[in-house]
Amino acid sequence: MRVIRALVVVLVGVLLASVGRADAPRVGRCEVFPADNWWHADVSTLPVHPRSAQWLGHMDSDRDLHPDFGGRYGIPVTTVKGRHRKVKVRFDYAAESDRVHYPLGRDTRIEGGRGSDGDRHAIVVDRSRCRLYELYAARPVGGGWTAGSGAVWSLRSNKLRPDGWTSADAAGLPILPGLLRWREVRDDTIDHAIRFTTDETSRAHLWPARHDAGSTGDPAYPPMGARFRLRADYVPPAGMSTYARRVVAAMKTYGLVLADNGSPWFFQGERSRRWPDSLVEDLKTIPASAFEAVDTASLQVSPDSAAVG
């Protein structure tokens, strides 16, 4: 009887876990990394990082946040089937790129458009295999493709890239899990941290980040992978919309992740025409000074895995 009861307890636990993820936002029918991945970790009760005040002091924190998306802005996501044609890509940073064939073609959407002189990120999800392909500075040239760097992940795995390797992002992390997406805001299912940038970073990175691109060795500047939480005492303005309040709640629970060098306190979302203008304007009123850096070291299970304990 004890064995049967134990099995029942295990099965109930599995079922509850499954139910708990039933509403998790997906991309192309794929969950964006396992439920125990660092991107999904609740950081609302973690201790404040000892260098929080120093980092914030070098991040132009007297400004408000800037949602770097809305309408024709943002980072687009392309989903494809497993049988999509894959092509070879020539990389500028080949030594730190995943040199496999990528599912690219005329259907591939590029940040800013193919003629952009910006970062030109391309994010592609193979919905049949739940594989994520990401490129930086992607461009079709003649009959082929070039990119600054490229990385591939299994969305079913917590495995990290080799330490010291970049990805399509300076922190060596995937971009997709840090994008705010309209559907999850609409459905109130945001379950992850949000990617953001600042202009000056240190030559250091914190787990699970794998790479850095800073200009100073001064530890008073924030490292790649640093996580910032909207303080619990922040009170949204009375007129803030329900949608914006959902994003505020996510920033208190999951926070922001420093993933690249760029304009201070610009945070990223998917490109979609469905973003309400009123939501974007509300998000521009959140003060950077209401954030604090958190110490996520206690979450680490293994230095080569994004799984949290």
- The residues spanned by each domain of the chain are 26-299
Q: How far apart are CA 157 and CA 35, in angstroms?
A: 10
Selection from 116, 126, 265 nearest residue 197 by Cα: 265
pLDDT at position 264, please? 98
10 CB neighbour count, 10 Å cutoff: 10
Q: Where are the beta strands (DSSP E) in the chain?
A: 26-27, 30-31, 66-68, 77-80, 89-91, 122-126, 131-136, 139-141, 144-147, 149-154, 194-198, 227-230, 256-261, 266-268, 291-294
Q: Which residues contact 273 (CB under 8 A, 6 or more apart)?
A: 71, 72
Peptide bond into 208 cis (omega under 30): yes
Q: How far apart are CA 24 and CA 31, in angstroms?
A: 7
Selection from 298, 300, 295 nearest residue 52 by Cα: 295
Contact present, 113 and 76 (Cβ < 8 Å) = no
72 CB neighbour count, 10 Å cutoff: 11
DSSP-derived secondary structure letter, 203: S
Tell me phi and psi for residue 9, to 5 degrees.
-60, -45
Distance in angstroms between the alpha carbons of the first and the last residue of the chain: 31
* H helices present in the chain, as ranges: 2-20, 52-57, 182-186, 242-253, 277-283
Spell out, as residue ranges, where the chain has pLDDT lower than 70.
Answer: 1-22
pLDDT at position 124, please? 98
